[in-house]
Amino acid sequence: MRFKLIACDVFLREICFYAARTPHIVDLEFTELGSHSQSDNLREIIQAKIDKAAQSEISYDAVLLGYGLCGNALVGIAARNVRLVVPRAHDCCTILLGSGKAFRRHFADNPSQPFSSAGYMERCASHMREDDVVSCDGKLFCFTEYASIYGEDNARYIFEQLRGRGRAHSRRIVFIETPFLRTLGHRKAVEEKARAEGKELVVLKGSGRLLRNLVWGCWAKRDFCIVEPRHRIEGVYDWNEVLRGVEMHEGH
- Walking along the chain (252 residues) 10 residues at a time, the average pLDDT comes out as 97 97 97 77 95 95 95 92 96 94 87 85 76 51 56 58 54 91 93 91 96 98 97 93 90 56
Residue 124 and residue 73 in one domain: no
Nearest Cα to Cα of residue 37 among 129, 153, 162, 114: 129
Distance CA 198, CA 154 (A): 33
Residue 168 and residue 242 in one domain: no
Secondary structure class of 95 (helix, strand, coil): helix
Residue 100 and residue 70 in one domain: no
- pLDDT at position 5: 98
- Residue 85 located in a structural domain: yes
Nearest Cα to Cα of residue 36 among 175, 136, 133, 152: 133
User: Which residues is 85 bridged to in the sheet?
Assistant: 64, 226
Phi then psi for residue 249, to 5 deg, are -80, 160
Residue 131 and residue 186 in one domain: yes
- Residue 72 located in a structural domain: yes
Kindly tell me the burial class for residue 240, based on how many C-beta atoms sit within 10 Å of its own C-beta (0-12, 13-18, 19 or more).
exposed
Residue 97 and residue 201 in one domain: yes
Strand 200-205 versus strand 139-142 pairing type: unpaired
Phi then psi for residue 140, to 5 deg, are -105, 140
- pLDDT at position 134: 47
Distance CA 100, CA 40 (A): 25
The pTM for the full model equals: 0.84
- Residue 153 located in a structural domain: yes
Residue 42 and residue 99 in one domain: no
Residue 147 and residue 228 in one domain: no
Residue 136 and residue 107 in one domain: yes
Residue 149 and residue 227 in one domain: no
E strands, the chain, where? 2-8, 25-31, 62-66, 78-79, 84-87, 115-116, 133-136, 139-142, 172-177, 200-205, 224-227, 231-235, 243-247
Residue 98 and residue 83 in one domain: no
Number of domains within the chain: 2
Kindly tell me the burial class for residue 84, based on how many C-beta atoms sit within 10 Å of its own C-beta (0-12, 13-18, 19 or more).
buried
Nearest Cα to Cα of residue 176 among 242, 114, 88, 112: 114
Distance CA 68, CA 80 (A): 20
Domain residue limits at 73: 2-90+209-247
- Residue 54 located in a structural domain: yes
Residue 97 and residue 74 in one domain: no
- Residue 190 located in a structural domain: yes
- How far out from the chain centre does Cα 24 lie? 23
Kindly tell me the burial class for residue 238, based on how many C-beta atoms sit within 10 Å of its own C-beta (0-12, 13-18, 19 or more).
middle
Residue 191 and residue 218 in one domain: no
- Residue 252 located in a structural domain: no
